[in-house]
Amino acid sequence: MHDITVVDLSRLQFAATALYHFLFVPLTLGMTFMLAAMETVYVVTGKVIYKQITQFWGKLFLINFALGVATGLTMEFQFGTNWSFYSSFVGDIFGAPLAIEGLMAFFLESTFVGLMVFGWHRLKPGQHLAVTYLVALGSNLSALWILVANAFMQDPVGAHFNPTTMRMELNDFAALIFSSDAQAKFVHTSIAGYVTAAIFVAGVSAWYMLKNRHMELARRSFRMSVLFGVLSTAGVITLGDALGFVGAEAQPTKLAAMEGLWKTESAPMPFNLMAFPSQENQTNYGEVKVPYVLSILVTHSLTGTVPGVDVLEQRAEERIRGGIPAVSSLKMLSADPKDPVAMNQFTTHQKDLGYGFLVKRYADDVTTATDEQIAQAAKDSIPHVATMFWSFRVMVLLGLGMLAFFVLGLIYTLRNTVQYKRTFLKFAVWMIPAPFLACEAGWLVAEIGRQPWTVYGLLPTWMSASTHSVGYMVFSLIGFVAVYTVFIVIEMYLMVRAIRKGPDDGNGAAELDVGDLSLPASRKTLAEA
Amino acid sequence: MKTFIQFSIFMLIAGLAIVLAIILGDRGAWYFAWLVGTVMIVLIAAVGGALLDAQDERAAALALERKDGKH
């Protein structure tokens, strides 16, 4: 039997490393394509300012990329060290996309990053631009394969459990990569990275405009970033809706937790704008409801409805009872893999196998599980509602706030007046943390919402961990947090230093600041007249 | 000959794009949307930068005309 403290510490360690790593990832995903956009203008128009713009933001991208890689490498090792049963159980499926990510996407990205950095004087502009696009493609393909692997954990398709080998086996690779969850999750995450980069570039550009420094770079960067951002934010919201739609089908418990939906309601269901959910009492306090909206959001109709926690727990209880014979048949099959009675029993109940594992936490011999133990296991099938509810709302609120920011910024920049809007510019600087927080909140929704499963409906989290000691886990957790905190501090220091220093002409020489362009040309010339 | 080679390459790219679009459109509509959407986002952002240059140049030209008219 696993020590639950070790399981919780393993979860905490993975969550900590993933959340740290995910501070770097979105900026990398978005910055590469922003650099591609900037360099495209340079190659098409031949204006040197765009080369300098690309090189400046490229420097910031590189700082982030280097630290992102460093924090990401350890995560893959954790599957083997802390989640050994999980790795054994689904390694045949999970390993394939991770291997492709390493061999195809990461190698592509890393190789061409070198060319992008050192190739300015060695490649023709068109060739260098192609390299920049390949870096962008590589970094996003890297995210694709990771998210395909993650999507299998959320919605396990394209695989089956083999009772002879006692592990999951891949039988349809196309189903794995084209699963609805993989598609929606990849596009949502990738474009969230675009939004992060757009806010970052807009915020730093706004800071330059406030300081009346590097105005040529700042005005152009700001213009491009808000256009990049407004389109990306619209995409993120659209794909967020798609993920909710997919999730309603594949992970109803996640959706119920996100919405604080304790009791199943008839259509059209109201949306809980605000509430304070209590897991213990299975109710919400201080609810503020908006009529009709939940049905529209999750079913795209006024007549649609989704199950609440009450119905989902009842279903889980039924499936646990159905899964108990499947689990007990595995014991017989491990003694005699050709036992026809055991095989027949397994085949009949295999769809509920994972739910049978849920109750094994309380009764080692599942056939002796009491009604109370089954009821407790059914309760476990619901993720922590308050965390889900608020993480989701923080993400959505920040997303909508960023959309409003980009729209206003777009109006100002199209009128060419943004450099005079000092309050807005100050606000733009303060917006920089917003997408990072939104991404972290989104990651919490995705991963806490999957609980109590590592592979939804198949493998409970409590069974997936390795059997380490508490001391080992505490020691390694402290080590990870300490090292990663140092990484964050280094990143912040290098970024701030590079931003304060500002752009150069590509040879480390003078700044490209053109102070008199702080006024748009029309006003400047009129002032002179 | 150079034109023919270029024509062949572009036709090949167009053919591949169509095949990719058919496969992705059929099995991975959101992947296809990402591909098209990303290209659109990058190009519109790039056009935004070029548009700012054009706005500045136009404003400078207008200001110059007014200045010349005054003199």
CB contact under 8 A, A178 and B41: no
Q: Are A434 and A398 in contact (CB under 8 A)?
A: yes
CB atoms within 10 A of CB A505: 13
Mean pLDDT of chain A: 88
pLDDT given at position A468? 85
Would the pLDDT of A407 be above 70?
A: yes
Q: Are A429 and A210 in contact (CB under 8 A)?
A: yes
HSE-CB for A380 with a 13 A CA cutoff: 23
Higher-pLDDT residue of A463, A512: A463
- Model confidence at A516, pLDDT cuts 50, 70, 90, reads very low
Contacts of A220 in chain B (CB under 8 A): 49, 52-53
Q: Summarize the confidence of residues A245-274 as an average pLDDT.
A: 89
pLDDT given at position A1? 60
Q: Summarize the confidence of residues A351-379 as an average pLDDT.
A: 90
pLDDT given at position A364? 84
pLDDT given at position A67? 83
pLDDT given at position A450? 92
Cis peptide before A452 (omega within 30 of 0): yes
Token pair listed for A244: 């909710």
Q: Summarize the confidence of residues A7-16 as an average pLDDT.
A: 90
CB atoms within 10 A of CB A306: 24
DSSP state of A262: -
**Residues A317-350 pLDDT 10s:** 999 999 999 888 888 888 888 888 888 888 888 8
Q: Summarize the confidence of residues A493-517 as an average pLDDT.
A: 63
Q: Which of A 227-256 lie inside 8 A of B, CB atoms? A: 227-228, 231-232, 235, 239, 242
Would the pLDDT of A381 be above 70?
A: yes
pLDDT given at position A75? 81
Q: Are A382 and A307 in contact (CB under 8 A)?
A: no
Q: Summarize the confidence of residues A382-387 as an average pLDDT.
A: 94
- Model confidence at A509, pLDDT cuts 50, 70, 90, reads very low
Nearest residue, CB atoms, A36 vs list B34, B42, B47: B42
- Model confidence at A515, pLDDT cuts 50, 70, 90, reads very low
CB contact under 8 A, A220 and B33: no
A490 has which bridge partners?
none
Determine which of A39, A44, A217, A231 to mutate to test the interface with B (most B C-beta atoms within 10 Å).
A231
Contacts of range B50-59, beta carbons closer than 8 Å, 24 or more positions apart = B50/A41, B50/A44, B50/A45, B51/A223, B52/A219, B52/A220, B52/A223, B52/A413, B52/A416, B53/A45, B53/A47, B53/A220, B55/A416, B55/A520, B56/A416, B56/A520, B56/A521, B57/A521, B59/A416, B59/A520, B59/A521, B59/A522, B59/A525
- Model confidence at A510, pLDDT cuts 50, 70, 90, reads very low
**Residues A24-64 pLDDT 10s:** 899 999 999 999 999 999 999 999 999 999 999 999 999 98
- ipTM of the complex model: 0.85
pLDDT given at position A508? 36
Would the pLDDT of A507 be above 60?
A: no
Contacts of B70 in chain A (CB under 8 A): 529
**What residue ranges do the domains of chain B occupy?**
2-70
Would the pLDDT of A524 be above 70?
A: no
3-state secondary structure A329-363: HHHHHHHCCCCHHHHHHHHHHHHHHHHHHHHHCCC
- Model confidence at A79, pLDDT cuts 50, 70, 90, reads confident
pLDDT given at position B70? 62
**Residues A445-499 pLDDT 10s:** 999 999 899 999 999 999 988 888 888 889 988 988 898 899 889 888 999 999 9
Q: Are A463 and A85 in contact (CB under 8 A)?
A: yes
For Cα atoms A40, A62, A406, give the angle at the middle one, nearest 5 degrees: 60
**Residues A411-436 pLDDT 10s:** 999 988 999 999 999 999 999 999 99
- Model confidence at A444, pLDDT cuts 50, 70, 90, reads very high
Determine which of B13, B38, B68 to mutate to test the interface with A (most A C-beta atoms within 10 Å).
B38
Higher-pLDDT residue of A505, B26: B26
**Average pLDDT per block of 10 residues along chain B, 71 residues long:** 88 87 82 92 94 89 83 57
pLDDT given at position A527? 35
**What residue ranges do the domains of chain A occupy?**
4-251+383-514, 309-380
Percent of chain B with pLDDT over 70: 97
pLDDT given at position A100? 86
CB contact under 8 A, B56 and A44: no
Could you give the CA distance from residue A248 to residue A242 in angstroms, rounded to a whole number? 10
One-letter amino acid of A65: F
Determine which of A29, A32, A40, A418 to mutate to test the interface with B (most B C-beta atoms within 10 Å).
A40
Picking from B40, B47, B52, the residue whose alpha carbon sits closest to that of residue A38 is B47
User: Nearest residue of B to residue A35 by CA position?
Assistant: B42
CB contact under 8 A, A525 and B64: yes
Q: Summarize the confidence of residues A241-246 as an average pLDDT.
A: 86
pLDDT given at position A517? 39
Give the burial class of A19: count Cβ atoms within 10 A of its Cβ; 0-12 exposed, 13-18 middle, 19 or more buried: middle
A284 has which bridge partners?
A277
Least confident of A70-84, A124-138, A178-192, A304-318: A70-84
CA distances from A121 to A48, A110, A117, A383, B20 (A): 14, 19, 10, 54, 35
Q: Summarize the confidence of residues A374-397 as an average pLDDT.
A: 94
Least confident of A47-61, A296-310, A504-518: A504-518
